[in-house]
Structure 1
């Protein structure tokens, strides 16, 4: 069966919330019922053939994945709260059933007794992972322990949803006079006028959503406005999320102990490239040390500029960091971000993104104007292989902020793709301006789209377990981080980055932008290691005072001093999904720099290397270990060298 014989998922062809809620409920009920039927059959009368046992289990996992994916997506993006609530319950049901099966000793015996001698490499790999999943779940523990594990997993699912919801819904505001917004771009100011109501006092409301918060911190001349925005932004979620996080850390630690691990980080790291929890702080310190000299060099430049306005300053405070970085870039590196923005109108960037990635990977994106979507902002595209004409999957772009929507940028799965069974479908969820974009946001768009491409191209494997972005979690960012490079190449940017007059962005400006971006990369790496240290030590130490421990880690690792009265951890969403493993962003970046070294700087569209990358890194999904995927592409194991050279340059 070829990919084109499969059809995309049918979504509700209605804007009515009741229709979506009914669809979500039916998808959950039918998917869970089919999964139960498959697993009950395995438990009571398993097939004699080992491949058939694995196939039925994989089918059941595909059904669970379908329910969980729809639940996660709609729980984060649907504009109606009732739909979001129904979707969250579906996720809870999946988690509950998954836990039940993972602790079923009768079911485990089915897999423990399989003869793997007749299996091919992928099936044998799958069997090994299934057996490991059961062991890590605690299937071999006594009844009381398994009951406690069940209760912990159910509670963790609830807490994770509560935490995400609290962060998502806590949009804070500051109220300022129009005069206090001097320095902001003209198009931004035009979109931020006083409401005109009788009680607004002529004030402008500015939110902590990214299209507001980032420009204010970067461009507002008024230091008090910048400080107020930083305070509002860094206090999102506080104090509501602190007890949630404390309970999450405690329960994860208890769960790890119940299944035989000294702490959560050790448990979590076992299935990642890094392998051991104790290797995480060593990696954090390695990066921090490598970044120390570049960070000190750039911070000295920044402090010198800051002291022109604040002669007695000893450090640049976080409330002023983005603003003064912008001044240094403009005054010393001759890059004016407000000029740069004029080349990045959102509609042109979106069109350019599709053209660039289509050419690079041999794809075509056919818009589906009549596709059912959950909000008018959402656009659907069918992804087609240019060479074969086969339909490879469907993607949805949901790129602007709205009330009740996920606040960051991420790729969400709608369906995992499995050869001959269902097409991969993914959703890009971001919060970009509808007008002009900062170049940083263009880079973010390319990054997140990299996950979407990986999901689609890796969605034609034989097993659901290995579909799409199913590699080790500390590798999944590498392909997306590498795709960022295409948003920095002057020749590529000139394909879509044009001003109102249609003039493409000058090559010398792009070179200056690259030099400007290099300024501060050491400080950025140190800040990332602060976040990574926080995610690790919060889980290992479970401090009673999260703010106090955060302050200590910030002083140890971050380039920026702590701002009194703020609680950044309270809205650090990665403490949910990434748990103790936020280090993975930098681990992946090390690999991404090595992957990119195989491409020709003078021709980033060179078809031979691009096709080899598509076939050997993206298309296999999780069918091989990430280190093997990289070695297949590079012809050697990955090294730290390319990253170290980039960081020190």
Structure 2
């Protein structure tokens, strides 16, 4: 199947074009192609029509079906999260539902299962055998071997899960809350932030729960009451609407798992991940909580002592104060003032620096494409080259607007198939157009890691292996590792400059790194609270999610819950990650180990970087993640590097 032909990128309409027609046409064409492929395989199962016993041809047809469905699902999910026109977002959601519905029908079709089960695996190459084995596993996990009435129920449950997930996401996306305060209550915030938030006709300033407003406010605003008011609004996004949505979503998943013979959804979901089982998730969480206990207690006490210096009556610390006092401690103890550090990180320079750094590291070249089309004027597109070979196209949509995905993530637009489809990915973020906090720079590097992974792994013959197609609990590791380059003094010095053109001093970056290490213990505990909530909601029957969440937070997190808030309603990862939010920390364990292969004094070592690019990133899902990592490191991965980092 291998070919050297380079396909063209997907032609996109310009922002003011008829995007509804474009989405519907692409969906109709690809769904028709997928259904035609299904019928061809079904005819083979029935012994009617032109059929072939060639295993390679059967698998190629199967590959085509999956690719066509992905083409619809990926476009639908992306535009449902980012198109400025709500009507287009609604059409996109429908197309995604149609693609997922067809995928469910295929997974429950005994005729197709019989065709693939009858393929002679020995007649396939290693890659083909891996696709066949994984596909047969998918059929079993879908319930193809269940009685017809059970398959009908599984089909309905799968469709309902998609609908509920979309509604959960939409409720978060659409529920932008705010506080209105007097201008003097912006004290402590940078001058450009204050300038961007002028008083209205009533003499008040509006601060929203959108990330570019919320994150700086909770970090720098000296007004404790205002911080608390905004934090409460943020933690109540999509409540109460998402309470009922999540309750039904959890019930749907539990019934699916039960019908398929699993103890709960967590066991079902973990089966195809590195972790292997739900009980292993619980064991991993317990281990990280225990390892983080000492560092978390130590650093939390530092924050609490500093809070009490301002408020002697304080008995605890929570989300309204923790980011602010962490910033105070870093400023006072490490001489790092994030409001001053920001002056080195002007958005256009950071974006260009990121491209230069990743280009040098991975041997890539980015060429901006004018007239590439896109859903909004903010979208910038780049073709990605290795030498003179076009590898793929990326689209950057990095600033907030109404109706847009409110966090930061990479969305695939097209999965690369060698000789047929060029990989294309989209970065959706919500950064300011001017000065950025360094934490936002780190986030940009992290998310761009997913984008590079998607493009570099986009030259496989099999859609099954294309892009970020590894086990889900490894997905974050390459991006977490790329964050290390956003902390290196030489790397930052290459693009981080203040208004006079002076590069960020290396000694300041060193202090920033020391300051960032403060709080990693309580960071790990907070991540384990999120992970525990994600896992336990899918493991236990929970009647009052708010009460359960707050009780769990008191037990696992280093910080107290805020009464009257409902964190779970705005916890969007409960849709995509379901019971597996633990994967962020699981991936970090592996990321720390992989980074140990690099010389901190030479992060651009061509041999190590090239080996990592080719053996981990470009490999996509062609092998198990543990095998890819062992191939790169020359040994199985361990927790040693992570444990040493957490303890120091």
TM-score strictly above 0.5: yes
Q: Using the alignment, how far apart are the partners of 2:278 and 2:59 within structure 1?
A: 31
Per the alignment, residue 154 of structure 2 pairs with 149
Q: Aligned-pair distance for 1:333?
A: 1.1
Q: Is the alpha carbon distance of 1:241 and 1:331 closer, same or farther for their aligned partners in structure 2, counting shifts above 3 Å?
A: same
Q: Using the alignment, how far apart are the partners of 2:160 and 2:428 within structure 1?
A: 27
Alignment partner of 1:70 out of 66, 70, 75:
75
Question: Is the 1:291–1:523 contact (alpha carbons within 8 Å) kept by the matching residues of 2?
Answer: yes
Deviations 1:453-499 (A, max 9, x none): 00000000120011010000000000000000000000100000000
Q: Aligned-pair distance for 1:156?
A: 0.7
Question: Is the 1:482–1:595 contact (alpha carbons within 8 Å) kept by the matching residues of 2?
Answer: yes
Per the alignment, residue 331 of structure 2 pairs with 330
Question: Is the 1:497–1:504 contact (alpha carbons within 8 Å) kept by the matching residues of 2?
Answer: yes
Task: Give 3-state SS (helix, strand or coil) of 1:318's partner.
Answer: coil
Task: Give 3-state SS (helix, strand or coil) of 2:603's partner.
Answer: coil
Deviations 1:178-228 (A, max 9, x none): 011111100011110023xxxx41101111001100111011111111001
Per the alignment, residue 202 of structure 2 pairs with 201
Q: Aligned-pair distance for 1:95?
A: 1.1
Alignment pair present for 1:613 and 2:612: yes
Per the alignment, residue 645 of structure 2 pairs with 646
Alignment pair present for 1:275 and 2:279: no
Per the alignment, residue 103 of structure 1 pairs with 108
Q: Using the alignment, how far apart are the partners of 1:180 and 1:304 within structure 2?
A: 24
Per the alignment, residue 47 of structure 2 pairs with none
RMSD: 0.9
Deviations 1:434-470 (A, max 9, x none): 1110100000000000000000000001200110100
Q: Aligned-pair distance for 1:12?
A: 1.4
Q: Is the alpha carbon distance of 1:326 and 1:394 closer, same or farther for their aligned partners in structure 2, counting shifts above 3 Å?
A: same
Q: TM-score, normalised by structure 2?
A: 0.98
Q: Using the alignment, how far apart are the partners of 1:162 and 1:338 within structure 2?
A: 37
Q: Using the alignment, how far apart are the partners of 1:51 and 1:531 within structure 2?
A: 44
Q: Using the alignment, how far apart are the partners of 2:302 and 2:587 within structure 1?
A: 29
Q: Is the alpha carbon distance of 1:354 and 1:2 closer, same or farther for their aligned partners in structure 2, counting shifts above 3 Å?
A: farther
Task: Give 3-state SS (helix, strand or coil) of 1:13's partner.
Answer: coil
Question: Is the 2:344–2:496 contact (alpha carbons within 8 Å) kept by the matching residues of 1?
Answer: yes
Q: Aligned-pair distance for 1:310?
A: 1.6
Q: Aligned-pair distance for 1:135?
A: 0.3
Task: Give 3-state SS (helix, strand or coil) of 1:395's partner.
Answer: strand
Per the alignment, residue 406 of structure 1 pairs with 405
Q: Using the alignment, how far apart are the partners of 1:253 and 1:181 within structure 2?
A: 46
Per the alignment, residue 256 of structure 2 pairs with 255
Question: Is the 1:3–1:392 contact (alpha carbons within 8 Å) kept by the matching residues of 2?
Answer: no
Question: Is the 2:553–2:560 contact (alpha carbons within 8 Å) kept by the matching residues of 1?
Answer: yes
Q: Using the alignment, how far apart are the partners of 1:143 and 1:289 within structure 2?
A: 47
Which stretch has the larger CA shift, 292-301 or 635-644?
A: 292-301
Question: Is the 1:3–1:390 contact (alpha carbons within 8 Å) kept by the matching residues of 2?
Answer: no
Per the alignment, residue 582 of structure 1 pairs with 581
Which stretch has the larger CA shift, 1-10 or 459-468?
A: 1-10
Per the alignment, residue 474 of structure 2 pairs with 475
Question: Is the 1:2–1:390 contact (alpha carbons within 8 Å) kept by the matching residues of 2?
Answer: no
Question: Is the 1:411–1:448 contact (alpha carbons within 8 Å) kept by the matching residues of 2?
Answer: yes
Per the alignment, residue 8 of structure 1 pairs with 9
Aligned pairs (5 A) from 1:160-171: 160-171=165-176
Q: In the comparison of the two structures, how many residue pairs are matched?
A: 641
Deviations 1:529-585 (A, max 9, x none): 000000011111130000011011101111110111000110000000000000000
Which stretch has the larger CA shift, 312-321 or 370-379?
A: 312-321
Q: TM-score, normalised by structure 1?
A: 0.98
Per the alignment, residue 547 of structure 1 pairs with 546
Question: Is the 1:173–1:208 contact (alpha carbons within 8 Å) kept by the matching residues of 2?
Answer: yes
Q: Is the alpha carbon distance of 1:648 and 1:530 closer, same or farther for their aligned partners in structure 2, counting shifts above 3 Å?
A: same
Per the alignment, residue 265 of structure 1 pairs with 266
Deviations 1:32-63 (A, max 9, x none): 00011111101102421111111101111000
Q: Using the alignment, how far apart are the partners of 1:13 and 1:601 within structure 2?
A: 44
